[in-house]
Chains A and B, each alone.
Chain A
């Protein structure tokens, strides 16, 4: 039983293309996230949704557009891909509680390479 799943695991594409990454969680969590981890391994939040509503939108180029059709799914569409978009993208989910805070459960990651 995979808790947080992402597809695809690897994505190699040319500059200028448009691509999507899909994420699904079966934990019943209300909140989902997209993170970008660059070559220096720095994990940076991009977006967060709570019950399908966008609540965090960091300084991310508007070529990146998240979509949450329901609270179990959060997809990421990227237009006009650039070389600097090459990174590992992690989806995560959480259910905030007083005891464990907003502990996040991460998907396996999507390694995006833009050529």
Chain B
């Protein structure tokens, strides 16, 4: 079976750092995505990790450990506009360009 787990909600303060964790158990693994989705809008791409390690992109970084089935998204210098849902998604290599999404973590950034 395919399973992706991430916390339902998190709250953090403007200017702080927050880490959103994701664990997955899937049959077949190509890579792991993080998408951001603001309320009422479409998901937008944040990052893609294939190899183990940390990838940094501005205020956002994403980490992957394939052996542990674990990833996290790190958001630094939080801004109010970072309040959104963050979706962890796994690209499968079972054929057919299939990506499965976690239920998302709703992040609330407070002043």
Q: Is B54 an interface position by the 8 A CB rule? A: no
Q: CA of A102 to CA of B95 in the docked complex: distance in angstroms?
A: 12
- Of the candidates B37, B43, B85, B87, the one having the most CB atoms from chain A within 10 angstroms of its own CB is B43
B contact residues, total (Cβ < 8 Å): 24
Near A by CB (< 8 A), chain B positions 17-50 give 30-31, 33, 37, 41-45, 48, 50
A41 with B85: CB separation less than 8 A: yes
Q: CA of A55 to CA of B97 in the docked complex: distance in angstroms?
A: 8
Q: Separation in Å of the A107 CB from the closest CB of chain B?
A: 6
Q: Separation in Å of the B97 CB from the closest CB of chain A?
A: 5
Whether A108 contacts B101 in the complex (CB less than 8 A), given A101-B33, A101-B91, comes out as: no
A107 with B42: CB separation less than 8 A: yes
Near B by CB (< 8 A), chain A positions 86-115 give 90, 94, 96, 100-109
Residue of A nearest to B103 (CB): A42
B99 with A106: CB separation less than 8 A: no
Secondary structure class of chain A's binding surface, majority of residues:
strand
A contact residues, total (Cβ < 8 Å): 24
Q: Is B98 an interface position by the 8 A CB rule? A: yes
Residue of A nearest to B42 (CB): A106
Q: CA of A50 to CA of B45 in the docked complex: distance in angstroms?
A: 20
**CB within 8 A of A104: which of B30, B95, B99, B106?**
B99
Q: Is B96 an interface position by the 8 A CB rule? A: yes
B50 with A101: CB separation less than 8 A: yes
Q: Is A56 an interface position by the 8 A CB rule? A: yes
Q: Which residues of B contact A41 (CB under 8 A)?
A: 37, 85, 103-104, 106
A48 with B30: CB separation less than 8 A: no
**CB within 8 A of B45: which of A31, A104, A109?**
A104
Sample (5) of A-B pairs whose CB atoms are under 8 Å apart: A41-B85, A41-B106, A43-B87, A56-B96, A100-B48
Q: Which residues of A contact B (CB under 8 A)?
A: 31, 40-45, 48, 50, 55-56, 90, 94, 96, 100-109
